[in-house]
Chains A and B, each alone.
Chain A
């Protein structure tokens, strides 16, 4: 593939020291995306820093009423986690749609986000759930809303000396329900388009709505205009149809090997409406 150094530190501090000390070093967790890009020579890092022996980066734990997901938590671990199943089932649903079983056994949440693909399955429910990411460097750390982490295809807010160490979920919104819908050519494929919706009602009106869409822009998108249209309003069938139209206008898909821009736009409209109607306990028109 590519000649490079390999480091397998046992402590986070050591990994952060290496990241700062070795220019062009790349972090490797599951390797499911990175190995493909190394082999094609799309990436040629000077060094790889493995995260697999750093205990605090793996697994989910409850933190301040919410949850902290270590960046090196695999999708299989996410699927098996009782906290995720109880408080954030939409995330488990998305994890189940990542690749094949053997990909889920290796691929990690942190890798999925740091790879910054517009189709990252975990990014959509995490955007809808209001997740933040923790970025650490030697002697410091910061947290960003996940919205602000993605800068473009393959580009993130991570600085050269930083490592994405955790995803932070706020306490579960009591009364809110969420859905993730993904259209793939076949079940295990990358998304042609995907939608995640979180909805919380206050009597007849929407109290809180979060909408995210994947594979329809340079990054996983949060559709704030759609959220604003629905929040504080009664979600009549007319309004959900209007929300679907706005969603189709807000996204910016491209045509590529997996699908056309037109079809992707269409799917976003259909899936948004389907998700809303389903969360409202109605049949989609």
Chain B
């Protein structure tokens, strides 16, 4: 990790547990780098100004809008995208809860919802419905009406606590 200068910069970021290095233009966002260069298209380009939450990833464990973070600013840090959670046939308990509770319709907001919820559960493993609503206030869904999403997070939190015990 050298001090970065100039228009072209080099970064080294741990993405979903794997170290990725890249040379890229200093003005590119973390979201652009993840989607366009790493083919991690789970994080979505929605409003591109931090209102909708579709691009949320965890940066050092905390949810951020990746459209508002320069890729350069992720240098030396850890990024978790939805691709790093689970895969078909082996979903993360929170992902499985979203499926079982029908908290997904078009799916565009889902990666951001799940990562934001995961950020919350990292700090508070047993949140109230109200705490969940507050944590997801920056994530817009145009399909489900949110009720199923709150239920899915409650359910997923229970499954994760159960998993931690066994």
Contact = CB atoms under 8 A, between A and B. Distances in A.
B64 interface: yes
A101 B138 contact: yes
Contacts of A81: none
Nearest to B75: A8
B48 A8 contact: no
A106 B68 contact: yes
A31 B69 CA distance: 6
A4 B26 contact: yes
Contact of A48 (B26, B28, B65, B134): B26
Nearest to A35: B68
Given A99-B138, A102-B116, A35 B67 contact: yes
A224 interface: no
Contacts of A205: none
Given A31-B68, A31-B70, A36-B49, A6 B29 contact: no
Interface string B48-80: 111001001001001111011110110100000
A38 B27 contact: yes
B3 interface: yes
B73 A102 contact: no
A38 B137 CA distance: 25
Given A4-B27, A52-B73, A101-B137, A106 B3 contact: no
Interface string B24-52: 01111100000000000000000011100
A32 B148 CA distance: 29
Given A8-B4, A99-B50, A187 B137 contact: yes
Given A4-B7, A6-B4, A102 B56 contact: yes
A28 interface: yes
B137 A28 contact: no
A2 B139 CA distance: 27
Interface in A1-34: 1-10, 14, 28, 30-32
B85 interface: no
B119 A101 contact: yes
B53 A100 contact: yes
A100 B137 contact: yes
Interface magnitude class on chain A:
20 to 34
Given A7-B4, A103-B138, A28 B64 contact: no
B65 A106 contact: yes
Contact of A3 (B27, B48, B68, B120): B27
Given A4-B7, A6-B9, A9-B3, A102 B138 contact: yes
Contacts of A187: 134, 137
Contacts of B5: 5-7
Contacts of B135: 101
29 contacts: A1-B28, A3-B7, A3-B25, A4-B27, A5-B5, A5-B7, A6-B5, A6-B6, A6-B26, A8-B3, A8-B72, A9-B3, A28-B73, A32-B68, A35-B49, A35-B70, A36-B68, A48-B70, A50-B73, A76-B62, A100-B138, A102-B65, A103-B50, A103-B65, A105-B59, A105-B62, A106-B65, A106-B68, A188-B137
Shortest beta-carbon contacts, A-B, top 4: A100-B138, A6-B26, A1-B27, A105-B62
Given A8-B3, A35-B68, 18 more contacts: A1-B27, A3-B25, A5-B5, A5-B6, A6-B26, A31-B69, A31-B73, A32-B65, A35-B49, A38-B27, A100-B138, A102-B63, A102-B64, A102-B138, A105-B62, A105-B64, A105-B119, A106-B65
